[in-house]
Structure 1
Amino acid sequence: MLFDTHVHLNVSQFDEDREEVLQRAKEAGIENMVIVGFDHETIPKAIDMAEQYDHIYAAVGWHPVDAIDMTDKELAWIEELSAHPKVVAIGEMGLDYHWDKSPKEVQKEVFRQQIQLAKKVKLPIIIHNREATEDIIQILQEENAEEVGGIMHCYNDSVDYVDACLKMNFYISLGGPVTFKNASLPKEVAKYVPKDRLLIETDCPFLAPHPNRGKRNEPAYVKLVAEKIADLRETSYEEIGKQTTENAKRLFGITH
């Protein structure tokens, strides 16, 4: 019983074998997943898949790398889609200082607009963070994001920032990097996060966990993430699966 809280089965890397990927996920015990749409192409595909499969939900938002492309029209579109019964979150949104397509100030403004939208429609938010932790926390605090809370997606930062996130009603989601041999930060976080604020994800097709690192990631591999976290927390795989599934359903308001 696992819940993969962040997948991108709506991208072209899965066009050849999407059904087979879903079947492997089912066989691996993945009972639910959230497909995250982040631009013009992936948002409609996330909605379509959520409509097609009972166990799949969608999130809709605008990726910070493409912030420069978002206008009031896109924001209104996301707001309209947020009313869909299978849409459970706004995102992914945030800041990405690794790529330079969108200027930092543009990213910040688009980030704020989406937080404000999420508060308006009363949905949690999914945060993308790359090399921008302190600015993200500052904006979340200034925009009172604790009103909706959400997920620090694929958290790969120091435990020093975890408490600030928890205080704002955020869950900490860990993915493939927690299994990487030399990745000390996510391992420390895996042991530190309270059990009722822990989530798991793949972020597929990216960041495949060991021993599949470097290959295309897929939802079935979230089992490897859960197993590693169980080992780090000195508990059972079953307990991690049960707890993280309960946490995800609580956050997303899924009652079945």
Structure 2
Amino acid sequence: MLIDSHCHLDRLKAAPDTASLHAIMDNAKAQGVDYLLCVNVRQQGFEAMRDKVAAFNNVFLSSGVHPLDVQEGLNIEDIKRFATDPRVVAIGETGLDYFYSNDTKSLQQQCFEQQIALAVEVNKPLIVHTRDAREDTINMLKAGNADKVGGVLHCFTENWEMAKAAIDLGFYISVSGIVTFKNAGELRSVIRQVPKDRLLVETDSPYLAPVPHRGQENQPAYVRDVAEFVAELRGEKFDELAQYTTDNFFNLFKDAAKLIGR
């Protein structure tokens, strides 16, 4: 069994409606992907996302506002209300991105702080996006007592020092198809060092398709390519990695485990 721990099914061009999404889900199932976490990035899009995947009982949800979408606004009460949906197992995608949007740094920090506080309040883990904001991300997680709920640094591309700091806070490190790219030498070094009980795999679909699917729209089925690459990179058997990343997912997202009676 594999789990795509981070995807955006509502953003797939190949699946503009629920009917066409069935083919995407069938492809994932054929590759051994049994569960998926569909991640919210805009509060204005949560309800449409939820409704689009409502027919699939193997899809979990999150509620949050991405750091690159903060200018559209954050109403924390809306995020809290969405989080009462039993399929919502996490708060996010939230975090800091100074690479693409350094001019909104202050607003990003305000929104991140609010969502950390909400995660602690509702006792759900955080899904964190971080880019070129290593020190601020870790410091804000510490200041907000995020260690009480834990979470994941998704689509990780930072250094080992940041990964270690996050792991020490009880966070997980999730690796995407970026690890298969030719220029991912530093990331590969980091992923080799992540403890087995702190690693997740993801697609971030529809973005960042792994080798050998570069140039295509990414989809959850391709998490198998990520997992196979990472297993080889770490000198592990694929079945072993599939098992412990699945266990890690349910250890982190305890509400997901409860939903399926695990």
- TM-score of the superposition, structure 1-length normalised? 0.95
Give the 3-state SS of the residue equivalent to 2:113 in structure 1: helix
Q: CA RMSD in A?
A: 1.5
Partner of 2:187: 186
Partner of 1:132: 133
The answer (yes or no) to whether the contact 1:65–1:101 under 8 Å persists in 2 is: no
The answer (yes or no) to whether the contact 2:12–2:205 under 8 Å persists in 1 is: no
The answer (yes or no) to whether the contact 1:28–1:223 under 8 Å persists in 2 is: yes
Partner of 2:11: 11
Partner of 2:47: 44
Counterparts of 2:107 and 2:202, CA distance in 1: 28
- TM-score of the superposition, structure 2-length normalised? 0.93
Partner of 2:91: 90
What is the correspondence of 1:1-256 to structure 2 with a 5 Å cutoff?
1-11=1-11, 13=13, 14-15=15-16, 17-71=20-74, 74-100=75-101, 103-253=104-254, 254-255=257-258, 256=262
Give the 3-state SS of the residue equivalent to 2:81 in structure 1: helix
Counterparts of 1:48 and 1:185, CA distance in 2: 39
Report the alpha carbon displacement of residue 103 of structure 1 after superposing the two structures with TM. 1.5
Counterparts of 1:58 and 1:186, CA distance in 2: 27
Give the 3-state SS of the residue equivalent to 2:91 in structure 1: strand
Counterparts of 1:243 and 1:101, CA distance in 2: 37
Counterpart residue identity of residue 194, structure 1: P
- The one-character-per-residue Cα deviations of 1:134-177 (angstroms, maximum 9, x if unpaired) are 21111111111101110000001111211110111100000001
Report the alpha carbon displacement of residue 62 of structure 1 after superposing the two structures with TM. 0.3
Equivalent pairs counted in the alignment come to 254
Counterparts of 1:75 and 1:87, CA distance in 2: 15
Gaps of at least 5 residues in structure 1 are none
Moved more, 190-199 or 42-51: 42-51
Q: Percent identity?
A: 39
Counterpart residue identity of residue 190, structure 2: V
Gaps of at least 5 residues in structure 2 are none
- The one-character-per-residue Cα deviations of 1:214-254 (angstroms, maximum 9, x if unpaired) are 22100000001100111011111111111000100111111
The answer (yes or no) to whether the contact 2:231–2:237 under 8 Å persists in 1 is: yes
Give the 3-state SS of the residue equivalent to 1:216 in structure 2: coil
Report the alpha carbon displacement of residue 59 of structure 1 after superposing the two structures with TM. 0.6
Counterparts of 1:68 and 1:207, CA distance in 2: 24
